[in-house]
Amino acid sequence: RFFQKRKKNKPPGPTGLPIIGNLHQLGPKPHSSLSSLAKTYGPIMSLRFGSVTVAVVSSPTTAQQILQKNDQSFTDRPIPESVAAQPNVNDTLAWAPADSRWRNRRRICTTQIFTAQRLDLLQHLRHRKVQQLIQHLHKKAEERTSVNIGEVAFATMLNLVSNTVFSEDMVDSEFESAGEFKELVWRIMEDAGKVNVCDYFPVLKRFDLQGVKIHVKVSYLRLHEIFDRMIRKRVEDRKSSRSGGSIKNDFLDVLLDDCEKDEASVFSVQSIKPLILDLFIAGSDTSGSTIEWAMAELLHNPEIMEKARNELIQVIGDKSNQVKESDIPTLPYIQSIVKETLRLHPPVPLLLPYIAGNDVEINGYTIHKGTQVLINVWSIGRNPEFWDDPLLFQPERFLNSNVDFKGRDFEYLPFGGGRRICPGLPLANRMIVLMLASLLHSFEWELPKGVNHEMLEQYGITLKKLTPLFAVPISVV
Ligand code: HEM
């Protein structure tokens, strides 16, 4: 009777099979399968994955109910086993419960890295990292060899984050050597993207049937070891700096200042490592895949590429001038290309999952406490009810429109919304526009001969191209 009461008034959804529930309906592209199911069951539907009840939201008004109207009930996230494998997971930003310690960590990241003022101060860093990328591409252009666009953009972003945090590069300037750091972050992304049966059958957790947890743990521990070494070295340097040496004033120094401030500090040497790791993981692949999709769309739509290059030539001039961040406001077409890319290819198509903290009424249905909630922003961004010709890549749609990705327009949520909206949004926006504008201003691009250009997706922790995009840069004269 208790069980039946709990099931009362749930949103509609497809009947599941015994034991596995609806897991078999997810397929290799869950965001797309769930989008198809929503056509039958509506903007909020209920499914069962193993023993976990999941509500899937697929319309702007329903997303608004979750992220705005009832946001106090949807603050926490369920933690997948591949994420729980890391040490001190409750000290992360992305997965920790939204308590006062999480608020403090978020506040310190926002005020010390992501405010307009702090970002302005570190503009030179982004220019330097993008110029390193451009120099690397000039060499490739001379050799007439193709470049893995997603990978070099990913490595550039890793180096930007590592310079923000540690004031040093983690990937060599040629982006080629299998830099250990890059491989470790990459491997974590891969493992975290696997569908893990243990997440849906909590009784199986301790058996780690697919071995995901044990595999990913090795990478986490190694990264913690690297961070540990760097942090200890910095602690020593800070001691000597007090006797006259220099200090770096980067994010690590901010965190260590906080550790030393008082005993009630939210940070310790142990608890800053998961936070730093979160910034690397959340920032690099998302930005890398956005650049990859943008370039893939432009190679697919040469007239749009041409229009973008014309805007750059008009605003920036010829290749002897470099694109700067201060040019961004005068590049509306490039900005629209980035927005259109994030509409069609949101790197986190189902956002990070939420968990209902109590029973909540949405659209007349009850979302019971403990239900996982997925918001299908991929589906919302492709719905003809909210977008004209939604499957066409048309940056123009954003040109004279106020729709933005800051979490207030619920038909367009590539960075999520509400209190857990992506804190890295301002940095990502600046860096992605700058990187894309520089790639287009310095080079013409073509696909390697004989390559079949497809636009298929591969679902993982970020939504990537099924086959990585390789393109040949040609230096403009
Ligand atoms: C194109 C680039 C990016 C996209 C599309 C993106 C998207 C997202 C999304 C969808 C979420 C979950 C929001 C929600 O659940 O409502 C998120 C969370 C997060 N992102 Fe980003 N992100 C990007 C870049 C970055 C960067 C550059 C950083 C930092 C360096 C970053 C750090 C984070 C963190 C720490 C969280 C967890 C926030 C929390 O749960 O409190 N992201 N991001």
Per-block mean pLDDT, blocks of 10 residues, the chain (477 long): 63 96 94 97 97 97 98 96 94 95 94 94 94 95 94 93 91 68 84 86 90 93 93 88 68 88 73 94 94 98 97 91 95 98 97 97 96 98 98 97 97 97 97 98 94 87 91 91
Neighbours of 104 (CB within 10 A): 14
**For residue 106, which atom of ligand 1 is closest to its CA?**
41
428 lines ligand 1 (CB under 6 A): yes
Residue whose structure tokens are 């923000």: 164
**Who's near 239: CB < 8 A, 6+ residues apart?**
none
pLDDT of residue 163: 92
Q: Is the CB of 106 under 6 A from ligand 1?
A: yes
CB 292 near ligand 1, within 6 Å: no
- The answer, yes or no, to whether any atom of ligand 1 lies below 6 A from the CB of 286, is yes
349 lines ligand 1 (CB under 6 A): no
8 Å CB contact between 453 and 300: yes
Residue 244: predicted pLDDT: 55
CATH fold, domain 2-475, is Cytochrome p450 (1.10.630)
- Best residue for ligand 1 mutational test, from 113, 422, 464 (most atoms within 8 Å of Cβ): 422
Tokens of 101: 């310690």
| Residue nearest (by alpha carbon) to ligand 1 atom 38 | 94
Flag whether the ipTM exceeds 0.90.
Answer: yes
Q: What is the pLDDT of residue 178?
A: 44
With a 6 Å cutoff on the Cβ, whether 381 touches ligand 1 is no
Q: Does the C-beta of 348 come closer than 6 Å to ligand 1?
A: yes
Please give the structure tokens belonging to residue 182: 């890059």
Q: Ligand 1 centre and the CA of 415: distance in Å?
A: 6
Give the residue, by CA position, lying nearest to ligand 1 atom 24: 283
Q: 125, 129, 338, 415: which to mutate for ligand 1, most atoms within 8 A of CB?
A: 415
Could you tell me the sign of the dihedral formed by the alpha carbons of 70, 342, 220, 229, in that order? negative
Q: Give the residue ranges of the annotated binding site for heme.
A: 422
Q: Is the CB of 161 under 6 A from ligand 1?
A: yes
Q: How many CB atoms lie within 10 A of CB 471?
A: 23
Starting at the edge strand found earlier in the chain, the sheet holding 147-148 runs 147-148, 470-475, 443-446
Distance CA 379, CA 372 (A): 18
Residue owning the nearest CA to atom 11 of ligand 1: 422
Q: pTM (2 decimals)?
A: 0.95
DSSP β-ladder status, 52-57 and 44-49? antiparallel
Q: How far is the CA of 405 from the centre of ligand 1 (A)?
A: 12
Q: What are phi and psi of 280, to 5 degrees?
A: -65, -45
Write out the E strands in 113-268: 147-148
Closest residue by CA, ligand 1 atom 9: 415
pLDDT for position 1: 44
Name the token pair of 379: 């589906």
Q: Is the shortest distance between the CB of 421 and ligand 1 below 6 Å?
A: yes
- Give the residue extent of every domain in the chain: 2-475
pLDDT computed for residue 365 by the predictor: 97
- The three-state secondary structure class of 446 is strand
